[in-house]
């Protein structure tokens, strides 16, 4: 009985710790406000939290971003990248982005004639424009992926949100010689776990923002292992000594 009680207490502590980490991400606040925000209320992309943490530690200041589907992610990118173009079909979000009047954001309104087919949707992006990051989080994922190279700059990244719902789209990008990394987990405002997939060009070259990479994750400990550099292990007076 005592062992069972101890186990139950351990499980309760683990659940409390996990809920605390979600709270540190801002999950509770996002749920209350119905918007993707962090704990302080700053905008977050509606990607999975592992994706947000990874992208947040890279230096995007000289990069151009094309989003198919705008939102809180546009505001997040606007504070990190040089230029953002957002293709949006929702009237409310178009109006909201224009109200912000962010100098490095260009909002392209994909009106009804522009969303009938994938070719129409992709066609709203002016010919000849090239972007270092392309985000698929709007309409016509499959057709956007098929045409990705026409507006994709070398050495960049394609982000596919809700990738677990789009296996054929992901296959197209793999067959186009992108390297796929799936980031599964919780995301702002959602009660279920999902997948945001990152597709890296083989020449991907975005540098880290900080000297240390990876940075300490939300809910993590900032300590560094003694074996992060050369060490000697010996036994002295019956004790293990690392020097």
70 lies in a domain?
yes
Contact criterion met (CB below 8 Å) for 231 and 75: no
192 lies in a domain?
yes
Tokens of 232: 């000697």
Q: What is the pTM of this model?
A: 0.90
Q: Mind listing the pLDDT tens digit of every residue in the chain (243 residues)?
A: 556 677 777 778 777 777 777 878 888 999 899 999 999 999 999 999 999 999 999 999 999 999 999 999 999 999 999 999 999 999 898 999 989 989 999 999 998 777 899 999 999 999 999 999 999 999 999 999 999 999 999 999 999 999 999 999 999 999 999 999 999 999 999 889 999 999 999 999 999 999 988 999 888 888 888 888 898 989 888 888 888
Length of the chain: 243
Structural domain of 180: 2-200
Nearest-angstrom CA–CA distance, 237 and 162: 56
Tokens of 209: 């923002």
**Which residue has 């597709």 as its token pair?**
199
| Cα–Cα nearest to 160, from 114, 197, 112 | 197
Provide the CATH number for the domain around residue 24: 3.40.50.150
Nearest-angstrom CA–CA distance, 131 and 153: 5
63 lies in a domain?
yes
100 lies in a domain?
yes
Q: What phi and psi, each to the nearest 5 degrees, are found at residue 55?
A: -65, -35
Tally the domains of the chain. Answer: 1
């Amino acid at each position: 009985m005592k062992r069972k009680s101890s186990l139950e207490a351990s499980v309760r502590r683990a659940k409390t710790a996990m809920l605390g980490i979600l709270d540190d991400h801002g999950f509770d606040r996002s749920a209350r406000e119905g918007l993707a925000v962090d704990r302080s209320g700053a905008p977050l992309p509606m990607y999975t939290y592992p994706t947000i943490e990874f992208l947040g530690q890279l230096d995007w200041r000289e990069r151009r971003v094309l989003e198919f589907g705008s939102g809180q992610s546009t505001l997040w990118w606007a504070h990190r990248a040089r230029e953002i173009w957002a293709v949006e079909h929702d009237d409310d979000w178009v109006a909201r982005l224009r109200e912000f009047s962010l100098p490095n954001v260009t909002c392209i309104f994909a009106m009804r004639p522009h969303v009938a087919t994938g070719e129409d949707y992709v066609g709203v992006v002016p010919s000849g424009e090239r972007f270092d990051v392309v985000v698929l989080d709007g309409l016509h994922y499959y057709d956007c992926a098929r045409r990705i190279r026409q507006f994709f700059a070398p050495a960049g990244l394609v982000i596919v949100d809700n990738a677990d719902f789009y296996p054929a789209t992901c296959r197209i990008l793999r067959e186009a010689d992108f390297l796929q990394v799936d980031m599964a987990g919780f995301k702002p405002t959602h009660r279920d776990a999902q997948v945001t997939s990152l597709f890296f060009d083989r020449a991907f070259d975005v540098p880290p923002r900080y000297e240390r990479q990876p940075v300490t994750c939300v809910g993590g400990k900032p300590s560094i292992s003694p074996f992060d550099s050369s060490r000697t292990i010996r036994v002295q007076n019956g004790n293990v000594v690392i020097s």
